[in-house]
Amino acid sequence: PAENADLVPLLDAVLDTIPAPTGDSSKPLQALVANLDASDYLGRLAIGRVEAGVMKKGDTVFVWQHPTPDNPAPFIKRKISTLFAFRGIGREEVSQVAAGDLFILAGIDEVEVGDTIAAIENAPALPRLEVDEPVLRMSFGVNTSPFAGRDGTFLTSRHLSERLFKEVLGNVSIRVNTTDSPDVIEVAGRGELQLAVLIENMRREGYELQVSRPEVITKEIDGKKHEPLEAGTIDVPDEYVGAVTQALAPRKGRVVNLEQGDSGRTIVSFQAPSRGLIGFRSLLLTVTRGTALLHQSLNGYTPWAGELPHRLGGAMVSDRKGSTTAYALDNLQLRGTLFVAPGVEVYEGMVVGENSREDEMVVNSVRAKELTNIRTHSHDDGPKLATPITHTLESGIQWIGDDELVEVTPSNIRIRKRFLSVEDRRKSNKTSKN
């Protein structure tokens, strides 16, 4: 109806039913950090609510941090340099906030979600908010392809490192670690979608990089290898319940409950290893024609579930640099599925398609047809090519194997081998076997 065309009824209901925050401004300061943000000028920003007392700009406060076995009650002493309050959908710099107010403060670079900010050293810490720890990690590296530097503005390892460590300031669920290689940084997050969003943002900002396939972060418990376990729900129309359960089965997913509603939809509750859910979201939308709603969260760790199926076919890998031709692709499409159209620039080691067999196939995708006096180019009927699969960032990350990378630039997404030349790949395979 027209009268319900906006969110006014919802906002009115919030005002009518949600009680106002309580708190005593006369007590010593206690505030809980619920989120983080970042500023180019102020650094890490803490966002939260004052539970008691008054918080003032310039105050020296005690920050109770996450306890550890070695230090069950850690705290640091810091000064609030800048203080903001929310005004509508914006923020306004203020001199103080009182009990019940939401705040944004700067000056505590070490602050984390769940920390308690107090005015006195012996103030009790508030119940801590827990953030799900990262379950997947990927390698972010400097773009080393022959086409590096064509599209992007930020190309070096210094650019990449600065951008990723800046992300950590305001993103509570991202972890960034250096590696043995100065050109590669390890980034951990809650899922491949979150990491893909980060990569897409960097791409739009002008960065060039290459990323690996996501891998789960395992733990050793009682001497055995364990992997993250996800608990989730899928809200789906009744006619697609069978398709959903079939999609979960090969990924080691287990349906724990089916709850049928009155609106023709069923809620499927399941558990599955995080590793098995890589790429599951896009598959789910495909088998349910975009009608499914997926929610998942970390539910502890489970013993390693063994190998999971990946893709069936090997990669078609270009053996030289050049521009693809319709003649070459016409011959290749008989052997598998193409990722490129005619006229696309490729390089040695770039993946141009998926082989119908599981083996890697090195191909010449730039070969031109030799013309003769009998049948000229002008009279030749062009080959009929199937529409190639154009990988998005997310689908590319899901498709690649351990020996492949996704090259990401502001204008292009390409799939390539880690080692571009055939000889280097043979040496790498021989070394890994030994």
Distance CA 71, CA 53 (A): 27
| Top CATH class, 20-118 | mainly beta
Mean pLDDT of the chain: 88
- In this predicted structure, what is the pLDDT of residue 294? 92
Which of 54, 42, 404, 360 has the alpha carbon at shortest distance from 210? 404
Q: What is the pTM of this model?
A: 0.80
Q: What single string gives the DSSP state of each residue in 279-335?
A: THHHHHHHHTTT--EEEEEEEEEEE--------SS-EEEE-S-EE--HHHHHHHTTS
For CATH 2.40.50.250, list the domain ranges present in the chain. Answer: 315-403+414-433
136-216 topology per CATH: Alpha-Beta Plaits (3.30.70)
Q: Where in the chain is the domain with CATH 2.40.30.10?
A: 20-118
Q: Please state which CATH number belongs to domain 315-403+414-433.
A: 2.40.50.250
Tens-place pLDDT, residues 159-211: 999 999 988 888 888 899 998 988 999 999 988 888 999 999 999 999 999 99
DSSP 119: S
3-state secondary structure of 161: helix
Q: What tokens does 157 get?
A: 């390892």
Mean of pLDDT values over 89-95: 89
Distance CA(77)–CA(88), nearest Å, equals: 31
* Residues contacting 117, CB < 8 A, separation 6+: 29, 30, 31, 32, 33, 46, 48, 55, 61, 62, 63, 64, 105, 108, 111
Delimit the CATH 3.30.70.240 region(s) of the chain.
228-303
What pLDDT score does 378 carry?
Answer: 53
The three-point CA angle 304-305-308 to 5° equals 125
Residue 229 phi/psi, 5° resolution? -115, 130
Q: Which residue has the higher pLDDT, 117 or 22?
A: 117
| Alpha-carbon gap, residue 119 to 381, rounded angstroms | 82
Q: Where in the chain is the domain with CATH 3.30.70.870?
A: 136-216
Q: What is the CATH number of domain 228-303?
A: 3.30.70.240
For residue 1, name the pLDDT band (cuts at 50, 70, 90).
very low
What is the length of the chain?
434
Residue 87, pLDDT > 50, answer: yes
